[in-house]
Amino acid sequence: MTTGTSPKPAKPAVSLSSADVSKMSKNERLKANSDGLFWVAGRERHSFGDELDAMTRGETDTIGGDAKELSKFFGIYKQQERVEGRKVGAHSFMLRLRVPGGGEFSPAQWKAVDEASDRFADGTLRITTRQGVQFHRVPGRELGALVRWLNREYENTGYVMSSLGACGDVNRNTMCSPVDDLVADRPLRTIDLAHEIASELAPVAGGAAYHQIFIENQESKRLEPVTTDEPLYGKHYLPRKFKVGFAHPGDNSADILTQDVGFMPIVNGGAVGDEYDLYSGGGLGVTHNNEQTAAHLGLYLGRVPREQVVAVTRALAELQRDNGERKDRRQARWKYTIRRLGIETVQRELREGFGIQLKDAKPVPLPPNRFFLGWHREAGEEERYWLGVPVLSGRLRDDGPRRQRSAVREAVAALGAGVRLTPNQDLLICHVPAAERARVEAIFADHGVPLDALPQVARRQALACPAKPTCGLAMTDAELSLPRYLDEIEAAGCGDVDVVIRISGCPNSCSRPPSAEIGIVGYGKNDHVIQVGGSREGTRLGRVLYPRVPEADVSRVLIGLLRAVRDENPAGLPAGEYLHETPLDELRVRVGYQGAQ
């Protein structure tokens, strides 16, 4: 199992256990002085709500740099359109919902989310690779109203909508297979654990501040924090984001080895999910040309009983809180902390310090990433189905005659169906009675999205992050360029090659290209790194085939790779295995591209 090349040793860590806040980064000082995310404690201490109110009144279109850092904890990213690398025009915001396990959204919740995209954002909904939802191009004057709209009381099916903790230095969205309890031959309730972890690791003082700033009656809201007590995170919160995911015995679409904490349920005879294999220390983000950063897959720590899954996740978060790097944010992820501490130290702390019944074991093989598109029979005595709907790059929209967002909205409302989001940026319409399948198909056909015409394989398995023009970290396009690449792949007759292609506009790798069969990562203004040979099970990172490929040559490289997989693969190996086993020099010859001159 490949975990990535270990970075060169960094300087001794600046952590809560070794230094005070004066030795830490500006981000750490802002968090420590915020009194639970209430105050923007920069040059002039003031409430985050003051800046929100100023935008609502139209006095400004954005927030300051110090407030920007706190806004992430509330699921908010400050953004500005970018043209040819320059930021231009008015500011806007991206708001992200935290959706543990991908939902499930009740019909009332989905109606509210769908309506919010028109009322407050750009008319689209974006499903993320962490099973969340993003609203893009939200004007500053509408930001508070959007948060309040989403936090109203709606009928729910276990998921209560909120953007709190969707970003920031806390536990992010907890993932699990979207069919966790739907598969007829092996239903689980791992999704319950995803919800429990989301609740256990949610910020308390930060949650109170969120409620005061966004939800309370705007005429009578308190001018001081309700509480500054943050029982898990403390005043510093975590050094960086913290990600948790669950696999299913038949599906690793959550890509658990790329998580800070990953769980694989164990099947022992008829008992399913009584124990979980525990992995920790995954993460794919790097910094170009910084040898102290590296992509890593999770390390196997052992096996834990189901009743301690939440406790062990909290314990690992506490170890990261106390020992993680707090001066250099590039070294602050748990993947570096666990390797600095050592596996044996972490295992001993879990057993002796936290009372975790961590059992030595041989990990079970991980299943492949699955997509679950089309109709599938659900578990249960009543004949019901779920429908997997492919959504390219997760961008659910109405685009001319192809009105996919409206089709989903009408089908959910007509049937009272639930909606779940997948790690592959698709969605599932759940609990459809057998007699209603034809009705759903008619609704989609009437909206220009016939269900009997699935996209070709390469297209429906491709992922992209938003990247430019809205993401401030992106170096290149991703979502905007992916359709063009796929058009050219299909025009070359390679659209039905069974391959997973993922593209990210920067090396943060939100769409997980390093673990893909073919991964594309933005580099500089208009170049890309091409990696190949990740496994469908998520157990291997790809190798760098081309360190720099200009935008104009990416399609040529992709077509060459897909032709090689299809035509020069006599053993019929899966794409990832073929690209892993073929020597890189030989692959370049088969692609017919040696690199830019």
Average pLDDT over residues 152-169: 93
| pLDDT, greater one: 328 or 380 | 328
Whether 258 is in a domain gets the answer yes
Same domain, yes or no, for 260 and 353? yes
- Asked whether the predicted pLDDT for residue 276 surpasses 70, the reply is yes
Q: And the tokens for 562?
A: 């897909």
- Asked whether the predicted pLDDT for residue 76 surpasses 70, the reply is yes
Dihedral of alpha carbons 475, 477, 478, 482, sign: negative
Same domain, yes or no, for 353 and 275? yes
Same domain, yes or no, for 263 and 358? yes
Whether 126 is in a domain gets the answer no
Examine the fold and report which residue of 369, 388, 415 is the final residue of a domain before the chain moves on.
Answer: 369
Instruction: Give the pLDDT confidence of 476-519 residue by residue, as tens digits.
Output: 999 999 999 999 999 999 999 999 999 999 999 999 999 999 99
Alpha helices by DSSP H, listed for 236-357, are 309-323, 334-341, 343-348
The tally of domains found in the chain comes to 3
pLDDT confidence bin for 407, thresholds 50/70/90: very high
Distance (Å, rounded) from C-alpha 435 to C-alpha 431?
12
Contacts of 379-385 with CB under 8 Å at 24 or more apart are 379/181, 379/182, 379/183, 379/184, 379/187, 380/184, 382/433, 383/433, 383/434, 384/431, 384/432, 384/433, 384/434, 385/432, 385/434, 385/437
Whether 41 is in a domain gets the answer no
Average pLDDT over residues 263-284: 88
Q: Comparing 7-21, 245-259, 328-342, which segment has the lowest mean pLDDT?
A: 7-21
Same domain, yes or no, for 504 and 438? no
Examine the fold and report which residue of 455, 490, 519 is the final residue of a domain before the chain moves on.
Answer: 455
Average pLDDT over residues 162-187: 91
Cβ–Cβ under 8 Å, residues 326 and 18: no
pLDDT given at position 270: 57
**Residue recorded with tokens 């992209």:** 464
The Cβ of residue 485 has, within 10 Å, a number of other Cβ atoms equal to 21
Distance (Å, rounded) from C-alpha 179 to C-alpha 233?
32
Average pLDDT over residues 15-33: 94
Helix, strand, or coil (residue 389): strand
pLDDT given at position 525: 87
**Residue recorded with tokens 């708001």:** 95
- Asked whether the predicted pLDDT for residue 4 surpasses 60, the reply is no
Cβ–Cβ under 8 Å, residues 344 and 338: no
Same domain, yes or no, for 519 and 565? yes
Distance (Å, rounded) from C-alpha 468 to C-alpha 326?
29
Whether 502 is in a domain gets the answer yes
Cβ–Cβ under 8 Å, residues 105 and 418: yes
- Asked whether the predicted pLDDT for residue 527 surpasses 70, the reply is yes
Whether 284 is in a domain gets the answer yes
The Cβ of residue 363 has, within 10 Å, a number of other Cβ atoms equal to 15
Residue 118, C-beta contacts closer than 8 angstroms, at least 6 positions apart = none
| CATH value at residue 171 | 3.30.413.10
pLDDT confidence bin for 402, thresholds 50/70/90: very high
Q: Comparing 86-90, 162-166, 484-488, which segment has the lowest mean pLDDT?
A: 86-90
Same domain, yes or no, for 450 and 505? no
Q: Closest Cα to residue 77, out of 484, 385, 473, 511? A: 473
Same domain, yes or no, for 437 and 400? yes
- Asked whether the predicted pLDDT for residue 9 surpasses 90, the reply is no
Whether 331 is in a domain gets the answer yes
pLDDT confidence bin for 152, thresholds 50/70/90: very high
Task: Assign residue 202 a region (left: φ > 0; alpha: ψ between -120 and 50; beta: otherwise).
Answer: beta
Cβ–Cβ under 8 Å, residues 176 and 194: yes
- Asked whether the predicted pLDDT for residue 298 surpasses 90, the reply is yes
Distance (Å, rounded) from C-alpha 222 to C-alpha 131?
34
Cβ–Cβ under 8 Å, residues 446 and 438: no
Examine the fold and report which residue of 369, 394, 414 is the final residue of a domain before the chain moves on.
Answer: 369
pLDDT given at position 596: 64
Residue 10, C-beta contacts closer than 8 angstroms, at least 6 positions apart = 292, 325, 328, 331, 336
Same domain, yes or no, for 275 and 305? yes
- Asked whether the predicted pLDDT for residue 1 surpasses 70, the reply is no
Residues of the domain holding 571: 459-591
Predicted TM-score (pTM) of the model is 0.95
pLDDT confidence bin for 44, thresholds 50/70/90: confident
Distance (Å, rounded) from C-alpha 558 to C-alpha 481?
13
Q: Closest Cα to residue 103, out of 568, 419, 341? A: 419
Whether 503 is in a domain gets the answer yes
Q: And the tokens for 536?
A: 């469908």
Whether 443 is in a domain gets the answer yes
- Asked whether the predicted pLDDT for residue 288 surpasses 90, the reply is yes
Same domain, yes or no, for 490 and 363? no
What type of residue is 587? L
Same domain, yes or no, for 511 and 407? no
pLDDT given at position 453: 86
| CATH value at residue 416 | 3.90.480.10
Cβ–Cβ under 8 Å, residues 467 and 504: yes
Same domain, yes or no, for 580 and 490? yes
Distance (Å, rounded) from C-alpha 97 to C-alpha 99?
6
The Cβ of residue 85 has, within 10 Å, a number of other Cβ atoms equal to 12
Sheet bearing 518-523, strands edge to edge: 463-464, 501-504, 518-523, 527-532, 543-550
Distance (Å, rounded) from C-alpha 474 to C-alpha 94?
14
For all residues of the chain together, what is the average pLDDT?
94
pLDDT confidence bin for 208, thresholds 50/70/90: very high
pLDDT confidence bin for 87, thresholds 50/70/90: confident
- Going from the C-alpha of 129 to that of each of 132, 163, 539, 587, the distances in angstroms are 7, 16, 18, 29
Instruction: Give the pLDDT confidence of 255-265 residue by residue, as tens digits.
Output: 999 999 999 99
Same domain, yes or no, for 357 and 421? no
pLDDT given at position 216: 83
pLDDT confidence bin for 6, thresholds 50/70/90: low
Q: Comparing 333-337, 378-382, 397-401, 572-576, which segment has the lowest mean pLDDT?
A: 378-382
Distance (Å, rounded) from C-alpha 284 to C-alpha 133?
21
**Residue recorded with tokens 């949650």:** 207
